[in-house]
Amino acid sequence: MVKETVRVYARVKPLGRRQQAGIYSVDDDEKPLSSLEITVPRDLADGFINNKRESYRFKFQKIFDQEAKQDVVFDSIARPVAECVLAGYNGTIFAYGQTGSGKTFTITGGAERYSDRGIIPRTLSYIFDQLQKDSSKVYTTHVSYLEIYNECGYDLLDPRHEASRLEDLPKVTIMEDSDQNIHLKNLSLQQATNEEEALNLLFLGDTNRMIAETPMNQASTRSHCIFTIHISSKEPGSATIRRSKLHLVDLAGSERVAKTGVGGHLLTEAKYINLSLHYLEQVIIALAEKNRSHIPYRNSMMTSVLRDSLGGNCMTTMIATLSIDKRNIDESISTCRFAQRVALIKNEAVLNEEIDPRLMIVQLQKEIQELKDELALVTGKQRTSELSQEELLQLDELIETFLKDNDPDSPLDVGADMRKIKYCFIHMKELMNHSKISDKKLQSQHISEEKDTNKEAGEEELKKLKELLWQRDNEINILVNMLKKEKKKAQDALFQLKAASAGSIERDCSETVNLEESQSPSSCFILKEAKDFNSSLHRLPFLSRETGGRMSLGCQEAFEVFKQEHADSITIEDNKQLLKQRFAEAKYLGEKLNEVRNKINHLKGEITQRHIQRAALAVSSPSEELNMLDPVEEKLRKQIEEEKKSYKTMFNRLRGLKVEIEHLQLLMEKVKMKLRKDFEVWWSEEAINLQEKPEMVISPNTTTVYPQFIKSSQHLSTNSFSETTRISPDEDPAGKNNSTSSSNPTLKTRTPPSSSTSVPLTGDSQADADILAFIKARQNILQKKGLGNK
């Protein structure tokens, strides 16, 4: 068992040009902790923050300042946790901070550069590297990816889904068993046998996360994402399995609504925007308090899921992400305060070991056989599960004599054999039932006879029969008592036998029960079905759904222009170049490797040649010299060693390149996907706007562009809308006649005057949108070519 407090780190996001000096300082001298001092500028301190203190000091395990790189962050924070997880302990790393402070960047990574990959891909790489090196155990790895939005859980790894909304993904629900262990129903656990498969799953999840997000539901800032790596290991032949899991958590933005009421309020009174973070804070406070018996985990889904990772059996690490500039000073201080409370929690991590039930069954079967053998030795008879025909006949005879015997003390002795005792009972029951039926028959017979025969004679007969019946009843009662006695005797005998020879079986049985009980806490996630993963990245559910898989011509042309103008096209281009370089490098390395391999083969050939020559010499003219070490051969061997070394270095480099190339390819897919999504949003908004304003007839001179379009397409490079000017309704008298509400300033794009053909709309919204986009795209292209005015 490892007992330790939660480790808390801070990471400050680079602020670039906006950076103001003197707001914070980092002091690394106070080993083993570092401290962060945040100074509130005077103008702010006098204003809305309104408390007396002007500087705050917070202690962290380590503080990563603005220039800290992803590999350093991984090495310090995630590697130790990953090591623990490989050793069989559970681990959790969660990033906490306001939106935009770098949580996703730290946990998943940036989408542009390979070196920007975050904790998840690096941890996967590290874990699979380690697993490959350890051949002493058999490992299995699964991953799951859960998003919690508005108290609902969604499975981001569902391979079948065609969803474009989060709500279309399978809903994950929480179930609690009688031991208060949490199980997640509908969360798939996907097997990943190597780094590549695991990375593909991560990208699938990230893509689903991205597709599900629309400008309306800002899921990424309001939702929590939990990527979990499940590892189980077993030594070959052993029945003990170790299971561990590593949660990598990207929490929702921690920003609060500041109460700026009368006289101002202290920072702590501000309220969370996200209620579940408020519950997380309550859990943290409860955990940090000594002697608290009730921890309010159940208040939210996220605290329920992380229950055993926050205050239980887990190595927990928190990264407080900070974006410390003047505007965010109160949020940064809130984040640090939260971190200080988290640092007070003590956790106890224990190894999660359990016994494989299959191997347990084999062991128990063996034990049963041994006990049977022992029993056979004691009784002198071989026990089978069924009585033989001969034994059955013997028993029937015994019962018959027993029943016939009028002596109430006569015993029915079948020996200490449960099978025989059971048989006797069954047989007696049959006899009893039989006699009841015949009694009834007798009775009815008697009634009919009564009618015909003389009453007196009948009465006498009845008396006789009653006596007989009474006698029979008596007999049966005695018999049952006897049987009871016999049964008890037999049980006692069996018990003694067991106590003497099978004391161990009871111990083992109770262990089995315990083991069965203890299995459930570690396998928290119900394995829906560990299916092989089929990469399904190349899907475009939105486009294929709405247009039946085809883009109309206008749409295609508009997309081409959109693509050229999109900011991400630079990233795509950059990555393409980089990929080209990497491919070239890989090709070069491949060729080099071949050369070196040939060289090594050649050198080996030379050595063999040398051997043959020397052997021939030894036969023709034997000399002392030939028995000594051959300096030429030594030299050749050294050369081979050298070549092998360089082969290994190049091989490793090539392997690294392969991973990088795959990562880059996935990054490109992701950026392309984003581009298509952005285009789809823009396209559908255009269509909606046109539907709302059907009277609008396109005049290429003035095209109305709506504010929400500008908002949702902020990433578009400015030159595609370089002519966009903001015109307030007062400045533009025409704007008043416009159907758009006058309180909502309309943005207009002024395009150069050109052939002013007006295109009447067809009334079919899809067709209209296509026509308009087509014209717009053409205008853009013409403009680019300098033909717009002609």
CB of 206 to Mg ion, least distance (A): 11
Q: Using CB atoms, what's the residue nearest to Mg ion? A: 104
Distance CA 97, CA 253 (A): 6
Tokens 């111990």 locate to 507
d(CA 678, CA 717): 13
Residue closer to Mg ion, measured from CB, 201 or 225:
225
Q: How far is the CB of 135 from Mg ion (least distance, A)?
A: 39
The minimum distance between CB 66 and ligand ADP, in angstroms, equals: 7
Instruction: Decide whether 321 or 713 has the Cβ nearer to Mg ion.
Output: 321
Q: Which is nearer to ligand ADP, 210 or 705 (CB)?
A: 210
* Of 110 and 788, CB closest to ligand ADP: 110
Task: Judge contact between 381 and 374, C-beta under 8 A.
Answer: no
Query: How many residues make contact with ligand ADP (CB under 6 A)?
Result: 14
> Least distance to ligand ADP from the beta carbon of 105, Å?
3
In the bound complex, what is the minimum distance in angstroms from residue 689's beta carbon to ligand ADP?
29
Which of 4, 14, 418, 622 lies at the binding interface for ligand ADP (CB under 6 A)? 14
Residue 337's contacts (CB-CB under 8 Å, 6 or more residues apart) are 58, 267, 268
Task: Specify the residue, 76 or 218, whose C-beta has the smaller distance to Mg ion.
Answer: 218
Q: Which helix (H) or strand (E) holds 94?
A: strand 91-96
SS3 percent helix, strand, coil of the chain, rounded to 5, is 55, 15, 30
Cα separation, 453 vs 456, in Å, equals: 9
What residues does 8 pair with on adjacent strands? 318
Contact call for residues 771 and 759 (beta carbons, < 8 A): yes
The owner of tokens 């799951």 is 144
User: In whole angstroms, what is the distance from residue 560 CA to residue 550 CA?
Assistant: 15
Determine the Cα–Cα distance for residues 32 and 93; give it in Å rounded to an integer: 20
Give strand pairing partners of 233: 139, 242
State which residue, 221 or 379, has the beta carbon closest to ligand ADP.
221
Asked if residue 234 lies in contact with residue 137, where contact means CB atoms within 8 angstroms, the answer is yes
Nearer to Mg ion, 103 or 776 (CB): 103
* Residue with Cβ nearer ligand ADP (118 or 554): 118
Burial (0-12, 13-18, 19+ Cβ within 10 Å), 758: exposed
Beta strands in 386-457 (DSSP E): none
Q: Quick check: 254 binds Mg ion (CB under 5 A)?
A: no
| DSSP 8-state secondary structure symbol assigned to residue 49 | S
Q: At its nearest, how many Å lie between ligand ADP and the CB of residue 226?
A: 14
State the nearest-atom distance from the C-beta of 321 to ligand ADP, in Å: 6
The option from Mg ion, ligand ADP, none interacting with 101 (CB < 5 to 8 A, set by class) reads: ligand ADP
* Of 321, 334, 689, 780, the one binding ligand ADP by CB under 6 A: 321
Site string for Mg ion, 104-143 (x = CB under 5 A): x---------------------------------------
> Cα separation of 138 and 209, whole Å?
33
- CB-based contacts of 608-614 (< 8 A; 24+ apart in sequence): 610/636
CA 24 to CA 610: how far, in whole Å? 72
Site string for Mg ion, 80-109 (x = CB under 5 A): ------------------------x-----
> What does 321 interact with, of ligand ADP, Mg ion, none (CB < 5 to 8 A by kind)?
ligand ADP
At a CB cut-off of 8 Å and minimum separation 6, what does 512 contact? 355, 360, 364
369: amino acid identity, one letter: Q
250-269 footprint of ligand ADP as x/- string (CB under 6 A): ---x----------------
**Region 70-129 residues binding ligand ADP, contact defined as CB under 6 A:** 97, 99-105, 110
Taking only Cα atoms into account, the Rg of the chain, rounded to an integer number of angstroms, comes to 41
> Of 206-235, which residues contact ligand ADP (CB under 6 A)?
221
Residue at shortest CB range from ligand ADP: 102
Kindly tell me which of 49 and 302 has the beta carbon lying closer to Mg ion. 302
To ligand ADP, the closest distance from the beta carbon of 246 in angstroms equals 20
Give the nearer residue to ligand ADP in terms of CB position, either 485 or 715: 715
**In which order are the strands placed within the sheet that holds 24-27?**
24-27, 34-39, 55-60
Nearest distance from C-beta of residue 313 to ligand ADP, angstroms: 28
276 vs 779, which CB is nearer to ligand ADP? 276
In the complex with ligand ADP, the residue whose CB is nearer, 321 or 779, is: 321
CA–CA gap between residue 320 and residue 343 (Å, rounded) = 11
Contact partner, 317, from ligand ADP, Mg ion, none, Cβ < 5-8 Å per class: none
Structure tokens at 743: 């309180």
CA–CA gap between residue 42 and residue 333 (Å, rounded): 16
Residue 420 binding partner per list Mg ion, ligand ADP, none, with a CB distance cut-off of 5 to 8 Å that depends on partner kind: none
Contact 51, 60 (CB under 8 A): no
Binding-site ranges for Mg ion (CB under 5 A): 104
Binding-site ranges for ligand ADP (CB under 6 A): 13-14, 97, 99-105, 110, 221, 253, 321
